[in-house]
């Protein structure tokens, strides 16, 4: 058998064998070395890039964290404030004022003669008509004086009649010269004097007759008896007497009511005759009664600095009672819109009233002109505008230019 010869790949042949078959050994060695060197450099470059990326990433993270920390620290160092925007009011203001409800006509009824109360016919709450008899007074002295005046009148009339006969007789005798002219003149003078006495006595009778007629007290108009201050047997003093006078009755006409209201001076220019007013009474919760402004005093009271106005309210069924207290709602037009702010936004300084506004993250102090004080809110007439950010509860040490961080707030009752 022939011996088998093992054939190896060129790469697996020993160096000597390759040389024997004529392959160049030096060229192969140089190529492999260069290949290995390039691969090593590539690995080193990649490793260097990775290390540099890791270093840059770590340094950037630390720089960014430091910047963020400094910003957060600076932000936390700024004082936090709550702000609110001014609320613009409507051009028409509704003012609520106290009002006194009074009857359209009311009158105390006094006696015009002296005597004793004989009888009364109506008590409090009674509805009476004009001319109805309310009470009778017993006046014996006035009755006697009337009787005496009538007797004096009769005497004077008798003397006048005698003087008239004498005058006529003397004038007839004078024609025949039976009496002198002096006697005729005396007769005429006596007649004229007696005539004057008769006229005086007639006046006295009429006077006492009027006093006697005052024994009966009548209702002066349709109304309701609201007070009775006398009783049977009480001593009655006439209205012209110097003694203490007490009204026997008090009568009021409640079918139409007058409501008197004192309007502050600052609203006086908006008050016009014909305005409609709403009345609220505590005894009628949730119910409103309408009235009409019919007249004003056309003058400011120097003591109260208010304008007195009268509002008439129809009350045909007597639902409203005279003497009640009412809240009167009046819509008074104003010349310009104003703003409302919570009272805890105000800063009291010696220079005047101020508020602190925030502009571009910094505080600016603004002088303001206050209007009406509504308790927890105050009207600002000048010094703020729509969109301003007003600081709530500003510290006393706050100054213009101070940097702050804001938290939005809202007026009480506003929708958030």
Say how far apart CA 247 and CA 108 lie, in whole Å: 6
Say how far apart CA 295 and CA 95 lie, in whole Å: 18
Higher pLDDT, 189 or 403: 189
Q: List, in order, residues 6 or more apart from 345 with CB less than 8 Å away.
A: 84, 355, 356, 390, 391, 392, 393, 394
Q: List, in order, residues 6 or more apart from 187 with CB less than 8 Å away.
A: 163, 166, 167, 169, 170, 171
Say how far apart CA 167 and CA 183 lie, in whole Å: 9
* pLDDT tier, 415 (very low <50, low <70, confident <90, very high otherwise): very low
- Contact between residue 110 and residue 248 where contact means Cβ atoms under 8 Å apart: yes
- Host H or E run for residue 51: helix 25-77
Mean pLDDT of the chain: 80
**From the CB of residue 222, how many other CB atoms can be counted at a distance below 10 Å?**
15
Q: What are residue 15's phi and psi, to 5 degrees? A: -60, -40
CATH topology of domain 140-214: Helix Hairpins (1.10.287)
* pLDDT tier, 121 (very low <50, low <70, confident <90, very high otherwise): very high
* pLDDT tier, 334 (very low <50, low <70, confident <90, very high otherwise): low
Highest mean pLDDT, choosing among 3-12, 65-74, 226-235: 226-235
The pair of three-digit structure tokens given for residue 296, joined into one six-digit string: 């004003």
Angle among Cα 106, 112, 113 to the nearest 5 degrees reads 150
- Average pLDDT score over residue span 209-231: 90
Angle among Cα 233, 236, 237 to the nearest 5 degrees reads 165
Higher pLDDT, 231 or 42: 231
| pLDDT tops 60 at residue 370 | yes
- Average pLDDT score over residue span 132-160: 91
Q: How far apart are the first and last CA of the chain?
A: 110
The pair of three-digit structure tokens given for residue 158, joined into one six-digit string: 């008798």
- Where exactly are the structural domains of the chain? 80-90+337-408, 140-214
* Res 355: pLDDT: 81
pLDDT in tens, 3-27: 444 444 444 445 444 444 444 444 5
**From the CB of residue 307, how many other CB atoms can be counted at a distance below 10 Å?**
20
Say how far apart CA 125 and CA 7 lie, in whole Å: 147
* Beta pairing, strands 377-382 & 87-88: unpaired
Residue 249, beta-bridge partner list: 109, 228
- Contact between residue 265 and residue 300 where contact means Cβ atoms under 8 Å apart: yes
- Contact between residue 153 and residue 143 where contact means Cβ atoms under 8 Å apart: no
Say how far apart CA 262 and CA 277 lie, in whole Å: 14
Say how far apart CA 409 and CA 164 lie, in whole Å: 107
Percentage of the chain exceeding pLDDT 90? 32
pLDDT in tens, 48-58: 787 777 777 77
**Quick check: helix, strand or coil at residue 16?**
helix
Minimum mean pLDDT among 29-38, 99-108, 330-339: which range?
29-38
Task: Give CA separation, 121 vs 22, 115, 293, 348, in Å.
Answer: 164, 17, 38, 67
Say how far apart CA 398 and CA 345 lie, in whole Å: 12
* Res 193: pLDDT: 92
pTM, full prediction? 0.55
* pLDDT tier, 87 (very low <50, low <70, confident <90, very high otherwise): confident
* Res 5: pLDDT: 44
Q: Which of 228, 226, 159, 235 is nearest to 199 (CA)?
A: 159
CATH topology of domain 80-90+337-408: 2.40.420
* Res 211: pLDDT: 86
The number of residues making up the chain comes to: 416
- Contact between residue 366 and residue 398 where contact means Cβ atoms under 8 Å apart: no
- Average pLDDT score over residue span 85-91: 72
DSSP, res 403: B
pLDDT in tens, 260-295: 999 998 888 888 899 999 999 999 998 999 999 999
| pLDDT tops 60 at residue 197 | yes
* Res 85: pLDDT: 74
- Host H or E run for residue 145: helix 140-175
């Amino acid at each position: 058998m022939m011996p088998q010869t093992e054939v190896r790949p060129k790469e697996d042949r020993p160096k000597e064998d390759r040389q024997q078959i004529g392959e160049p050994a030096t060229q192969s060695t140089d190529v492999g070395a260069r290949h290995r060197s390039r691969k090593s450099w590539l690995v080193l470059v990649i490793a260097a890039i990775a290390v540099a990326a890791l270093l840059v990433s770590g340094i950037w993270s630390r720089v960014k964290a430091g910047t963020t920390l400094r910003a957060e620290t600076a932000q936390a160092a700024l004082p936090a404030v709550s702000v609110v925007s001014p609320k613009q009011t409507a051009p028409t203001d509704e003012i609520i004022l106290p009002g006194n409800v009074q009857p359209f006509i009311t009158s105390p009824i006094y006696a015009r003669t002296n005597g004793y109360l004989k009888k009364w016919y109506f008590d409090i709450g009674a509805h009476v008509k004009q001319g109805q008899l309310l009470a009778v007074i017993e006046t014996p002295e006035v009755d006697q004086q009337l009787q005496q005046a009538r007797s004096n009148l009769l005497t004077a009339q008798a003397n006048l009649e005698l003087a008239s006969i004498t005058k006529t007789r003397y004038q007839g005798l004078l024609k025949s010269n039976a009496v002198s002219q002096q006697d005729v003149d005396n007769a005429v003078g006596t007649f004229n004097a007696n005539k004057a006495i008769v006229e005086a006595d007639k006046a006295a009778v009429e006077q006492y007759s009027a006093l006697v007629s005052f024994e009966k007290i009548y209702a002066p108009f349709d109304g309701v008896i609201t007070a009775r201050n006398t009783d049977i047997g009480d001593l009655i003093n006439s209205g012209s007497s110097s003694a203490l006078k007490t009204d026997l009755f008090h009568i009021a006409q409640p079918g139409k009511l007058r409501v008197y209201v004192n309007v502050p001076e600052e609203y006086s220019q908006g008050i016009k005759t014909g305005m409609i007013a709403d009345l609220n009474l505590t005894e009628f919760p949730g119910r409103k009664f309408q009235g009409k402004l019919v007249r004003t005093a056309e003058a400011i009271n120097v003591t109260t600095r208010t304008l007195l106005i009268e509002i008439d309210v129809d009350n045909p069924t007597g639902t409203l009672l005279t003497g009640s207290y009412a809240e009167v709602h009046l819509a008074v037009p104003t010349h310009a819109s104003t703003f409302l702010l919570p009272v805890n936004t105000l800063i009291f300084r010696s220079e005047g009233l101020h508020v602190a506004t925030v502009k571009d993250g910094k505080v600016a102090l603004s002088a303001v002109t206050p209007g009406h004080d509504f308790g927890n809110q105050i009207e600002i007439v000048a010094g703020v505008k729509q969109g301003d950010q007003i600081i709530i509860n500003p510290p006393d040490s706050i100054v213009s230019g101070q940097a702050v961080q804001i938290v939005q707030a809202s007026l009480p009752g506003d929708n958030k």
